[in-house]
A and B are shown apart, each in its own frame.
Chain A
Amino acid sequence: MSLCEMKDLKKTYQMGEIDVDVLKGINLRIDEGEFVAIIGASGSGKTTLLNIIGCLDQATCGHYILAGKEVTELNDDELSAIRNEHIGFVFQSFYLMPYATVYENVMLPSLYAHKRKHRFEKRAGELLSIVGLADRAKFKPNQLSGGQQQRVAIARALINEPDLILADEPTGQLDSKTAGEIMNLIVELNNHGKTVIIVTHDQHIASYAKRVIEIKDGVIV
């Protein structure tokens, strides 16, 4: 079943007088359970595409349907709700709240959700076990290694049971051994049915994915 579907999606930025076409007609369908890597050089438009898939940005024209909803027409609050419900972000620099504990960081998305809290509490514990940090729940992020911090970020991305995990260079700040561990964790998640999209410029990281999409000058090649 299709989870994301893009039809003739275009994105144009205005730089003063000049219009810059970043995405020039993307047609893409990603089904549930897929593991897709989007690769491309910097300036190719891959980050813009990721932002649009993640509902952080909106296309200038074309259609984007996520989980059966047309996203192009939604307002800011509705986009926030979509992000909260359907998407889990994993960033290159982890982006954990420095003053909150590991457990509180994992719980953060639930803050903006409408579901009941006790379900999240139980799930946060389970997720910390899955990422192997059950004994670090009370720690602060700066007491953890980079790999451990990224595991916390992954647990955070999963807390709201999103349909889609979006990872932007998830191993960019990790050494190759830790990067391998993180990628194995992501593969594991995908094996359990999560749809995963990662954006990377690293061919080796992309090779973990089942499908690789290369983007160049705003079009899929």
Chain B
Amino acid sequence: MSPAVTSPQPDQEFNVRLEQRRRGGALWRTAFQLSTIVGIIALTALLYNVMDSAFGYVAVENSVDPASLAIGGVPLEEQSKDQLVRVLQANVSAGLFRRFEDDQPFAERGRDSVLALILERVVEPQVVETWSLTDSLLRRSEVLAEAASSYPNAIVRFEAWIDPDFVSTPQSGDPQRAGVRTAILGSLWVIAITIGFSFPIGVGAAIYLEEYAADTALNRLIRTNINNLAGVPSIIYGILGLAILVRALEPLTSGTLFGLTDPTSANGRTILSAGMTLGLLILPLIIINAQEAIRAVPGSLRQAGLALGATRWQTIWAHVLPNALPGILTGTILAVSRAIGETAPLVVVGASTFITVDPDSPFAKFTTLPIQIFQWTSRPQDVFRNLAAAAILVLLALLLAMNASAVLLRNRYSRRLSG
């Protein structure tokens, strides 16, 4: 609406259209902003959902009331070991009692061990209902009232499904006693093998491709091939591992080749197979990342080294690798944190559905933390959701620690090169 204008019509039109355009722009801008928020909302929902199930009230019913096991007015918790042994003997079958004795003589057992047996076998607490964290905090009185009316015989207490015990207790069929220790140890063993397998080979391949390989057709093929392998779904690696590592190389992966395991019970579904399968999975990632790190080292360093009469490897070892190492390590940590979270390939390779024994060698059967989560999530009973949520928190904490260390490493070493 400017004054002194020779042709007002076109200008007005322009201004109106400009308004429309501006408004349209603002609308779309809001749309874009909202899209960004969706991602944040999703992440928040996920974390909230997990936390919600990891804590909350539980209603526990006992098959046998511990109060009824008191001897002469002395409650269970305060009885001596001998008293406890007598209580146990009176309440389990003779055969079962004998088995306990065979497993470990009562004379050698501590008092706590006997008390634990009584709680497990005689009192037999069962979780009949769980409530989410939000319910437990915000609707506390209603929850308690509901528990009182539906489960009058149950003890209601606030349970943190994730606690230090959870991490240190092995797997168990009873959800009350189940922990993720077996799974964590399994994950650690598997990852150790994965790193040991894929790091040297991956870095070696990257050094070869960046420093030695001429631009021949074969080397171009290798490069394209690695890029394609990085995009192959992880389950295909599981299939590959099943066919080759578990089946074809069974004498090697089961340990019978070295005479370390019993041939009648050993098979190829071991930590070694799992570790190498994941190693193949992350190998392309490590190679690509290491290549980039090596490429980032300035050529002038190589030239200087060679001009002094050093061989190519001497130059690489003394100058290229040390300067590329922070980048290589960061990328490796990220690749490893991806491997830790992988489930599908290990299911295909043959994770054990139920083991309670800590792994002790690369030829042992295995389960890992993500697989444990998968199994618990797949069980129909509600209480296993809580266990799964607790295990998820453990897994996320582990991943957070790894990624944080990668970022720290990156920051610490990027200062070194420039100074």
Q: Are A and B interaction partners?
A: no
Spell out B's residues near A (CB within 8 Å): none
Spell out A's residues near B (CB within 8 Å): none
